[in-house]
Structure 1
Amino acid sequence: MEIIGPPGAALAIALENLFPPLPSEVILPLAGFAAARGSFTLAEALIWTIVGSVVGAVALYWVGRLLGRERTRKIFGWLPLVDISDVDKVEAWFVKHGPKAVFFGRMVPIFRSLISIPAGVTQMPFGQFVLLTTAGSAIWNSIFVLAGFYLGDNWHIVEEYANVFQKIVIVVVVFAIIGWVIYKLNKRRGAKVSSTDER
């Protein structure tokens, strides 16, 4: 962190948006720790990491924007158990709750990166997207950078708590997917039975 400095931290966080396996829960506290040691200022650590978050999110926003609604519908249409009506429902939900989803999504592991794509697909106004992304990223980044700054040599403790939070999110997502798959299979089975009875 001392070698790459604040711009390098920004680049690492931007890449974390594009490649979620890169751990922001390590990069951000480490940036705070480096600031505490005087490698750069706390303000630099905060500003540069927020800039990195926004740059990475904007890149994914434009991926969604370039994909567009019709291409996205075709991609999801190829997936098993996914009906176009499901895609339409998700799209309608995002159009209604998009601003909240983008703002709070920046503070949830996994969704931090993914939330930018539907924002682009639904063509959320770019200025609004950048503003909400900046606000959400500022909160998330500040928590981790400040934790690293004040914990000093114990900055790595932050990762342990962040990992617990991330695991909870993953478990919830897995159970939600399993529940959705069971629901879709039962629905299709019921549709087949009713069509057979009609014959």
Structure 2
Amino acid sequence: MSTATAFLESALAVVHVVGLPALFVVFVLKGALIGKVFPTSVFLSGYVAVMTPTYWRAALIVVLVTTAHVLGQGVIYAGSRRYGEDILSMLPLLPFDPESETFQRVEQWFHQYGGIAVFTTNVIPWSRGLIAIPAGVSAYPSGRYFVHVGTSTLLYHAVYVAVPLIGIAVLF
């Protein structure tokens, strides 16, 4: 067995052991706006492509990362309800400024469209999660907030898991 083959087998064994717990942690951080350091959606699709899970296991992955992401957003939402926009200065590695054009636009969308904006921004890759701050500050009902976030995030992650599965099915 070559060194490269042994390394790949070892790497796959590590992914099998720490894969799902690592995904959970990464997506909690992503939901809390801290994990925006690298593209987690690419990470998710790559994990699925490497693991080639059954459809039931793929569904489990979707539910796991969705739950983790919603938990992370829940932290930002609850923090925003308590501390307002100051939550942005309290958490490490948050690259958002409340005075930025992006933040102002998301805040405007929330005030104009409410729940539709919460749902929509959680399906658009570059605005995901940021809407938790204006929603929390305005005391938007938490039940409605989590329904919108949960359904949109489930849809978003289902696509990122389905694409590599469909690609693998077509190619092999």
Provide the TM-score with structure 2 as the length reference: 0.68
Q: How many residues align?
A: 140
Q: Which residue of 2 aligns with 1:175?
A: none
Between structures 1 and 2, the one with greater helix share: 1
Q: What residue ranges of structure 2 are gaps of 5+ in the alignment?
A: 1-14, 88-97
The aligned amino acid for 1:57 is Q
Q: Is the 8 A contact 1:12 1:27 kept in 2?
A: no
Q: Measured at CA, do residues 133 and 67 of structure 1 come closer, stay the same or move farther in structure 2, by a change above 3 Å?
A: same
Q: Is the 8 A contact 1:16 1:23 kept in 2?
A: no
In 2: Cα distance, 1:126 partner to 1:22 partner? 29
Q: Measured at CA, do residues 105 and 96 of structure 1 come closer, stay the same or move farther in structure 2, by a change above 3 Å?
A: same
1:9 aligns with 2:23: yes
Q: Which residue of 2 aligns with 1:84?
A: none
The aligned amino acid for 1:137 is T
Q: What residue ranges of structure 1 are gaps of 5+ in the alignment?
A: 73-77, 81-86, 154-199
Provide the TM-score with structure 1 as the length reference: 0.59
Q: Measured at CA, do residues 79 and 57 of structure 1 come closer, stay the same or move farther in structure 2, by a change above 3 Å?
A: closer
Give the secondary-structure state (helix, strand or coil) at the position aligned to 2:125.
coil
Shift of 1:35: 4.6
Shift of 1:93: 5.7
Give the % identical residues.
24
Q: Measured at CA, do residues 90 and 4 of structure 1 come closer, stay the same or move farther in structure 2, by a change above 3 Å?
A: closer
The residue correspondences of 1:47-196 to structure 2 (distance < 5 A) are 47-68=63-84, 94-152=110-168
Shift of 1:2: 2.4
Aligned CA RMSD, in angstroms, stands at 3.1
Q: Is the 8 A contact 1:32 1:147 kept in 2?
A: no
In 1: Cα distance, 2:20 partner to 2:50 partner? 10
In 1: Cα distance, 2:109 partner to 2:63 partner? 32
